[in-house]
Amino acid sequence: MILRIGLDFDNTIANYDQAFPEVARILGYESKTLNALNKTQTKRDLKLELLGQPEGDIAWQKVQGLVYGKFIDLASMYPGVYEFVLRALTSGNQIFIVSHKTQLGHFDESRTPLRDAATAWLINQKLVGDSDSRIKLQNVFMQKLVKRKLIKLSNFNLMYSLMT
């Protein structure tokens, strides 16, 4: 039996835990939490800290826009994803990646196309490509809205979906 499996991109395949604090530092946002505790700051910690500051919502959106675009190469793949994809595909199953992404990041002066950046990241990570052990590019879908993402997923008759 061939399984049809759907995967989300952000926070299911791509791990941004190190990218968010690094981009915040690049933008000059000093982190009291990180400096005081001398520990790795999570995306959630950073978001809460920035949102607690004046103009924090804008700061958070700037960081997000750059992490998902210009600095997406700072993201890492979650452990086990590559092995899961390889095993699923070499067993004859189909994998679809469906994510929701706006075209451009908020406040991103470089105007990096987020969908193109995510797709290039998937190719660079060797998850997407022409080989039988890679997800086909035609099975990668970036949707503008969460609603469209859910509609797209429902059209695939998936046996399993891993979404965050």
The per-residue pLDDT for range 47-88, each reduced to its tens digit, is 888 888 888 899 999 999 999 999 999 999 999 999 999 999
pLDDT for position 37: 45
Site of tokens 């067993």: 91
pLDDT for position 33: 57
Domain boundary (72, 96, 115) is at 72
Q: Does residue 103 share a domain with residue 134?
A: yes
Q: Does residue 84 share a domain with residue 10?
A: yes
Number of CB atoms found within 10 A of residue 3's CB: 13
Q: Does residue 43 share a domain with residue 87?
A: no
Q: Does residue 97 share a domain with residue 65?
A: no
Judged by DSSP in three states, 77 sits in: strand
> Residue 149 burial by CB count (10 A; 0-12/13-18/19+): exposed, middle or buried?
buried
pTM of the predicted model as reported, rounded to 2 decimal places: 0.86
Q: How far apart (Å, rounded) are the C-alpha atoms in residues 104 and 111?
A: 6
Domain boundary (36, 52, 72) is at 72
pLDDT per residue as tens, the chain (164 positions): 889 999 999 989 999 988 998 898 898 886 665 554 445 567 888 888 888 888 889 999 999 999 999 999 999 999 999 999 999 999 999 999 988 888 888 888 889 999 999 999 999 999 999 988 899 999 998 888 778 777 777 777 777 777 76
Site of tokens 């990096």: 112
Contact present, 12 and 162 (Cβ < 8 Å): yes
Q: Does residue 86 share a domain with residue 26?
A: no
Contact present, 15 and 125 (Cβ < 8 Å): no
- The CA R_g of the chain, rounded to the nearest whole Å, is 17
- Nearest of 86, 16, 7 to residue 45 by alpha carbon: 16
Token digits of residue 123: 């190719």
For residue 99, the domain's CATH number is 3.40.50.1000
Q: Does residue 40 share a domain with residue 103?
A: no
Q: Does residue 90 share a domain with residue 116?
A: yes
Q: Does residue 100 share a domain with residue 80?
A: yes
Q: Does residue 9 share a domain with residue 86?
A: yes
Domain count, the chain: 2
Q: Does residue 80 share a domain with residue 131?
A: yes
Q: Does residue 84 share a domain with residue 156?
A: yes
Question: What's the domain range around 111?
Answer: 4-15+76-162
Q: Does residue 103 share a domain with residue 57?
A: no
Q: How far apart (Å, rounded) are the C-alpha atoms in residues 150 and 164?
A: 12
